[in-house]
Amino acid sequence: MHTLFTADLHLREQEPEITNGFLRFLKLNVYKADALYILGDFFEYWIGDDDPQPLHREIAAALRGIATAKVPCYFIHGNRDFLLGKRFAKECRMTLLPQEKRISLYGHRIIIMHGDTLCTDDIDYQRYACKVHNQIIQKIFLCLPICTRLNIVAKMRCRSQMINRCKPEAIMDVNPQEVINVLERNNADWLIHGHTHRLAVHDIAIQNGKRAKRAVLGAWHHNGSMLSVTPEGMELIEFPL
């Protein structure tokens, strides 16, 4: 009995080793699991479900395979693939979840999310996120030609990288009080997220001396990263791509 979580693969055609690593991960690990949760930034960018990239068809076919094997797949949007929609989810046979979701696994009360909403000290980023999640802006963007959307995304990524180089590392991590707020608001024992790429399990003191845990998934840059949750607890695992 185990359920797997992963995030921040940043899949793109220019890095086939990560795609191949993910496909091996499905075959070696996920087919034996009770479920797979992908907590955002699955793709490096997403300009719409109508993007004809062959990579998207390859990934969709692989996820349909685990669905056929009766392993459900759940997806929470990240800050790079927040436009991933119902059409692609249906193609993959995966279930889209809200930005913040409480689940119960093997007696554990767990909150799962991508994690960018926890970084409340990064005010510039939160302002940007508010704009791009505006449904009117999204509808206008999705009506543009694919080549135009690609150019816009490339410019936005370049600008973001330049800005992030000048930011203190601390403000790009989670705000400790926001973590506690989320755990207490949801009466949860554990919080699982990605986004920061700071692979670790943290022990946290919350109200009335109660303890909780925060598990942070790593990015798939040099190694793969997954969290295995069982009735006994949780384990972060890195593995070669």
Residue 168: predicted pLDDT = 86
Query: Would you say residue 208 has pLDDT above 80?
Result: no
Total-model pTM: 0.96
What residues are paired with 235 via a beta bridge?
228
Q: What average pLDDT is seen over the chain?
A: 95
> Rounded mean pLDDT of 170-185?
94
Strand runs labelled E in the chain: 3-6, 36-38, 73-75, 95-96, 100-105, 108-113, 190-193, 200-205, 211-216, 223-230, 233-240
Kindly report the backbone phi and psi dihedral angles of residue 173, in degrees, each rounded to the nearest multiple of 5, phi listed first: -95, 175
Q: How far is CA 26 from the centre of its chain?
A: 16
Query: Would you say residue 27 has pLDDT above 90?
Result: yes
Residue 164: predicted pLDDT = 80
Q: Percent of the chain having pLDDT more than 90?
A: 90
Residue 175: predicted pLDDT = 96
Q: Between 40 and 167, where is the model more confident?
A: 40
Residue 107: predicted pLDDT = 94
> Rounded mean pLDDT of 218-240?
96
Cα-Cα end-to-end distance for the chain? 25
Query: Would you say residue 195 has pLDDT above 80?
Result: yes
Q: Between 101 and 222, where is the model more confident?
A: 101
Residue 170: predicted pLDDT = 84
Count other C-beta atoms under 10 Å from residue 4's C-beta. 22
Is residue 128 a contact partner of residue 116, using CB atoms and an 8 Å limit? no
DSSP per residue, 183-201: HHHTT-SEEEE-SS---EE
Q: How confident is the model at residue 167 (pLDDT cuts 50, 70, 90)?
A: confident
> Rounded mean pLDDT of 76-84?
97
pLDDT tens figures, 100-153? 999 999 999 999 999 999 999 999 999 999 999 999 999 999 999 999 999 999
Pairing of strands 95-96, 73-75: parallel
Residue 163: predicted pLDDT = 83
> Tokens in use for 148?
């135009």
CA angle centred on 33, ends 27 and 38, rounded to 5°: 80
Residue 160: predicted pLDDT = 84
Residue 85: predicted pLDDT = 97
Q: How confident is the model at residue 71 (pLDDT cuts 50, 70, 90)?
A: very high
**Burial (CB count <10 Å: 0-12, 13-18, 19+), residue 205:** exposed
